Every structure is written in C-alpha cells, then in structure tokens.
Structure 1
Amino acid sequence: MLNVALCSYGMSGKVFHAPLITAEPRLKLHTILQRNEPTALADYPNAKIVKSFDELIADPDIHLVVVNTPNEHHYPMTKAALLAGKHVVVEKPFTLSLAEGNELIALAQQQHRILSVFQNKRLESDHLDAKTIIESGSLGRIVEVEWHYDRYRTNITHKKWKEDNLPGSGTWFDLGIHMVDSMLCLFGKPNAVYADMRSLRRAEGSTDYFNTIFYYDDLRVILRSSTYVSEKSATVSIHGDKGSYLKFGQDVQESQMMRGIIPGMEGWAQPGDDNYGILHVHNNGEAQRTIIPGQRGYYEHYYHNIVDAISGTAPLAFLPQQSLLGVEVLLAAEESAKQQTLIRL
C-alpha cells in the first residue's frame, strides 16, 4: 500500500485526484494539505490534515505527493518533494519554463523517483476516438485536424492564476495544454506555429480566446477555444483524402465525478447519446456515412499505471518529457501571438 498526500483540496483535489486515488486499491489517501478549515475531513475522515507543505513532505510515511496547486507552485513544490525522496504527480502544465522542467526530470532520475504529469484528457473519448480513426487509415492521408475546447462563460473568478495576465495563466495553459498534448501524442512535434490570442471578457485579463495553427510537413492542426460559444459544433474534425470524421459531445467522466460518481460505480464513464462521431468516407466513387458511438474513457488507468511504474511492473505511461514538449509548444505559441509572426519549433 502506497500512502499519498494531496497538496490542495480545491477543485482538482476534490473532484479528480482524491476520488481516483481512493478508487485505486493499492493507494491510500493519507494526508491532505489545507491551510485553513479542514473541510476535506467531511469527505475523508481518516485522512491526516496538515497546514504546511514542509510538514507534508517531512512525513516518512508518505510515498507519493500530488502537486495540484496553482501553476507557479508546480516547480518549487515538485522539486522539494523529489528532494524529500517522494514520488510526484504534478498537475498540468508541468512547469512554466523549459529550464525548470529539465531540472525536475534530471532530479527525478537522480533520486530514482517516479515523476509524472496528470494529462487526464488522453483518457477521454475525444482523444481515444480521434486516435482510433487516425490509426484505422479509413480517412487516408490526413491533411487537416481542427480541435475545439469551447464554452460559454461570462463571469470572472477569483482565481488569479486563471484570470489575471500572469505567466502561465488563462485558457491557453489551462485548456490549450490538453489539445496540445493530444496533438503531440497523435502527430509528434510540429514544425512551426502561428497563433492569435486575446482576452474577450476584459482587456487586461488573461487569454480566454485562442486560434492556433500548427504546421507539419503535410498536415495542419488548428486548436481553438473561446469563452463566448453558447452553441457548440464538433469538438474534433479530421479531414483526409478519403473522407472526414466529426466528433460531437463531451466525455462524461468529469461531470460524473463532480456528482460523486467514481470508477467502479454503475454507469461509470458510459458515454451519453450525444457523444458520437460521424465518419464520411468515399470508396470506389461511393460515399458511406456512418454514426459511431463514442468510446468509454478510463481516468482510473492513470493512477493504476502510477502504482505499476513505482512497483516496477510496467513502464510509466505519462512521461514528464512528453509534457515538457507540451510546455515548449505552449510557450512558442504565446510568443507567436505576441510577435504576430510564425514561430519555428
């Protein structure tokens, strides 16, 4: 049994990490950092509540630390946890600079500890369905992919690391990282990027709109997001010389976990009727149009793999090097938007 400590009990801790940790039988949610009221005890009465990060990493009973704090704390807290001899899971984005990421990867290797980034969107139906279609070859030569992460949100929250114009803030680092990660997993590193980013809700705010074009040798990948989309279209559109695939709807796992439904419960991760794809291909001059139900996602595989990697029974699936490449791409796109020019990668 591996003891786990959570560095925060906000949305990510309460909705994602704590339930997924408790759903993995080889993990125990041992400690939760809450500097103010110990509200986590209402959900996890057997957990130990600490008020400081130093106290958390000093505990020899803790094996794995989950750094699920605001972005600017990812690097210092991950570094401190690794130096304390802990395995670490860190929320996305991995770090805010390439130098920080490279330092942490080297430190984890030096300490002989597992370091992984929680890229959970790889385990959702959008990514899984796109991967299946692309690998099937049914669309022939892929020439264009457009990926959307849109929502309608007019309010401004109190979270400075999401709303204020600070390094690593805004939807590009919050939502764009998911699409960038999927793009890199499916197609590898692009050759260049051209990006347009702005703040729609207030001029001085962080990015809440982006339209980025990534250039491959014979492929364009467009990643888009806006906070002013009240009627959503396809989340993923893939076009090739033999046809097209459009993916609609959203994965249910996040919404289920917000309602208290976790892995192992009835109906877990079962896609709704609105989660489907349309495959339109041309064979021998005839068009064939097929409706394909969305695949079931599996968030639970993340911590299952973490335990396997720590125990040495399986390789780590969510490597920090992959997420650091994502950081490189995020920063290049921001620079492109700033300079209003194409940036080579």
Structure 2
Amino acid sequence: MLNVALCSYGMSGKVFHAPLIAAEPGLNLHTILQRSEPTALADYPQVNIAKTFEEIIANPVIDLVVVNTPNELHYPMTKAALLAGKHVVVEKPFTLSLDEGNELIALAQQQQKILSVFQNKRLESDHLDAQKIIASGALGRIVEVEWHYDRYRTNITHKKWKEDKLPGSGTWFDLGIHMVDSMLCLFGKPGAVYADMRSLRRAEGSTDYFNVCFHYDDMRVLLRSNTFVSEKGATVSIHGDKGSFLKFGQDVQEGQLMQGVIPGKSGWAQPGDDNYSVQHTHHHGETKRQVVAGERGCYEKYYRNIVEAILDKAPLLFLPEQSLLGVELLLAGEESARNGVLIYLTSDSQQRKSYDPRYLP
C-alpha cells in the first residue's frame, strides 16, 4: 500500500482528494498538512498532521504527495517533492507558465517518478456523454461545440488567489481549464483562439465571465462561463451535419462527496433524472429524436490509475504533457482577451514559453 500526503485540507482536499484516496485500496492517507488547527482529525483520526511541507517531503515513508494548494504554489511544491523522490499529483491548473511545466516534466522523468494533474472532469457524465456520441459518428461531421460552466455566485470569497486580479486567478484558470482539457481530449489542439473575458462582480476583480472561441479547420468550439446564471440551459451542445446533441444536468459525484457518499457505496455516481441528453439525428431521410440517460461518472478511476502507474501495472492516463498544453491555451486565451485579437497557436509549444502572466503587461 502506498502512503499519501495531502498538502491542504481546504475544499479540494476535504471534498475530492481525501475521500477518493481513502476509498482506493492501494492507497493509505498517511499525512495531511495543516499549519493551524488539525481539523482533518475529525474526519480521519488515524492520519498524521504535519505542520510544515518540509516535514512531508523529508518523511521517507511517504510515497505520493498531492499538491492541492493555491495555483502559485503548484510549481515550487511539486519541484521540491520530486527532488525529494516522491511521486506527485498536482491540482489543476498544472503551472502558471510553460517554462515551469516543462521543467517539472523533465524533472519527473529524471527522477523516474509519476507526475500527474488531477483532471477529474474527464470522469464526469458531461465529458463521457460527449465522448460517446462523438465516437459513435451519429452526428456526422462536427461543425460546432458549445460548452458551459455557469454559476450563480454573487458573493466574493476570502480566497485572493481566486478572486483578486493575480496570475492564474479567476474562473478562466479555475473552471475554463476543465473545458479546455475536455476539448483537447476530444478534438486535439486547435489552430487559433479569440477570447472575451471580464469581471462582472467588481471591476478590480479576477475574471468571472468568459466567452472563448477556439478555431479548428472545419469546426468552432465555444467555451463559456458566467457568474450570474440562475437558470441553466444545456451544459454541452454539439452540432454536426447529421444531427445535434444537447446535454443537461450536472454530474452528481461532487455533491455526493460533500455528503459523505464515496465510491463503493450504494448509489455512487448514479445520474439523477435531471442528468440526460437529447439526441436529434437525420439518417437516410429519417429523423430521430431520443432522450438518453446520462453516463455514470467514475472519479475512482483517477487514483486507481495512479496506483497502477506507480506500480508499473498500467500506463499513466492523466499525463502532465496534456495538462501543460491546456495551460498553453489558457495563456493564449488571456492574451487574446487582453489585446482583442485572434491568436494563432503554434504547433511547437516551446515557442510560447514567453506567455508567463507574471511578466506580461
């Protein structure tokens, strides 16, 4: 069994990582970093509480470190953990620059350690349903995709790294990375991007609205998020020359984890009645419309794959290179919105290393 250290017990640690790690038979939640009150002991009385990150990386019994800290800490903490000989899972977004990401990938290879980014949205019903209908060919040639991640959230939280105008802050890096990752998994790298981003809740705040259009040779992918959406429509719309697909509802896994329902328990990841797709197709002069129940999500597959990859039983499915390409598109989108221009994406990501938000005007 592999011993795991969790670097934070905020929302991502408490809701996502700790329960999923505890549910994975190949992992032991050994240590949680909490610098002030050891509140994690109420949920996991058997864990060790570390007061400093240095305690974690210096502990020889810890095999895997989960870096689920604010975005600007992803690079230095991941680097330190790899140098200490640990395998690492890091929260999205992977890094804030391409230089940082490339350095960490090279370091993981040098250290012969697993490095992966927690892209859990690939394991939700939205992504799985979209993947299934595209693979079926039922829609024919895909011409347009529209993906929404909307919320109704008027309050400003205390989290400066999410709310203030800082590098890597705001919903484009927090939510947009999920849609960008799904787009890359389904369609590969686009050729160009045009983006509109702003803050709706306060002028000096970070991005909480975006409307981003990615250009493919014969297709457009629109990624949208708005903080003031109280009545949601389709989360994913896919249109092809032989039909349309509209996905409604929300994956239940996050809500279940908040309520203490974990993988293996009755009803885990079972989609609700509001989670479905409408599929409208035209074939051989016949029009068919059907309502299809949502696919069952599978968050548990993430850490199962991490265990198998560390033990060399299966290839790593959540590669850091894929997530670094996502970072490239995030940075290109920001550049497009800032300058109001269409940004062409090069085939060589090395040429975009200058897109580090900390050194741009």
TMscore range, shorter length: over 0.9
Query: What secondary structure, in the 3-state scheme, does the structure 1 residue paired with 2:234 have?
Result: coil
Q: Which residue of structure 1 aligns with residue 188 of structure 2?
A: 188
Q: Which residue of structure 1 aligns with residue 252 of structure 2?
A: 252
Deviation at 1:31, TM superposition (A): 0.4
Counterpart amino acid of residue 306 in structure 1 = I
1:315 matched to 2:307? The reply is no
Query: What secondary structure, in the 3-state scheme, does the structure 1 residue paired with 2:197 have?
Result: strand
Deviation at 1:287, TM superposition (A): 1.4
Q: Which residue of structure 1 aligns with residue 97 of structure 2?
A: 97
Deviation at 1:286, TM superposition (A): 2.3
Q: Which residue of structure 1 aligns with residue 55 of structure 2?
A: 55
Q: Which residue of structure 2 aligns with residue 43 of structure 1?
A: 43
Counterpart amino acid of residue 279 in structure 1 = Q
- Superimposed CA distance per residue, residues 283-332 of structure 1 (whole angstroms, 9 cap, x where no aligned partner): 22221100010000000000000000000000000000000000000000
Q: Which residue of structure 2 aligns with residue 280 of structure 1?
A: 280
Counterpart amino acid of residue 49 in structure 1 = I
Deviation at 1:214, TM superposition (A): 0.2
Q: Which residue of structure 1 aligns with residue 201 of structure 2?
A: 201
Q: Which residue of structure 2 aligns with residue 174 of structure 1?
A: 174
- Superimposed CA distance per residue, residues 64-119 of structure 1 (whole angstroms, 9 cap, x where no aligned partner): 00000000000000000000000000000000000000000000000000000000
Q: For 1:58 and 1:306, how far apart are their aligned partners in 2?
A: 22
1:299 matched to 2:299? The reply is yes
Equivalent positions of 1:68-79 (< 5 A) are 68-79=68-79
Q: What are structure 1's unaligned runs of at least 5 residues?
A: none
| More deviation, 286-295/111-120 | 286-295
Counterpart amino acid of residue 302 in structure 2 = Y
Q: For 1:228 and 1:285, how far apart are their aligned partners in 2?
A: 41
Counterpart amino acid of residue 282 in structure 1 = H
Q: For 1:342 and 1:317, how far apart are their aligned partners in 2?
A: 32
Q: Which residue of structure 2 aligns with residue 212 of structure 1?
A: 212
Q: For 2:283 and 2:57, how far apart are their aligned partners in 1?
A: 60
Q: Which residue of structure 2 aligns with residue 342 of structure 1?
A: 342
Relative to the length of structure 1, the TM-score reads 1.00
Q: Which residue of structure 2 aligns with residue 65 of structure 1?
A: 65
Equivalent positions of 1:61-140 (< 5 A) are 61-140=61-140
Deviation at 1:18, TM superposition (A): 0.4
Q: For 1:200 and 1:119, how far apart are their aligned partners in 2?
A: 27
Q: For 2:107 and 2:212, how far apart are their aligned partners in 1?
A: 33
Deviation at 1:143, TM superposition (A): 0.2
Q: For 1:330 and 1:268, how far apart are their aligned partners in 2?
A: 32
Percent same amino acid among aligned pairs?
80
Runs of 4+ in 1 over 2 A off after TM superposition: none
Relative to the length of structure 2, the TM-score reads 0.95
Query: What secondary structure, in the 3-state scheme, does the structure 1 residue paired with 2:152 have?
Result: coil
Q: For 1:269 and 1:190, how far apart are their aligned partners in 2?
A: 32
Counterpart amino acid of residue 199 in structure 1 = S
Q: What are structure 2's unaligned runs of at least 5 residues?
A: 346-361
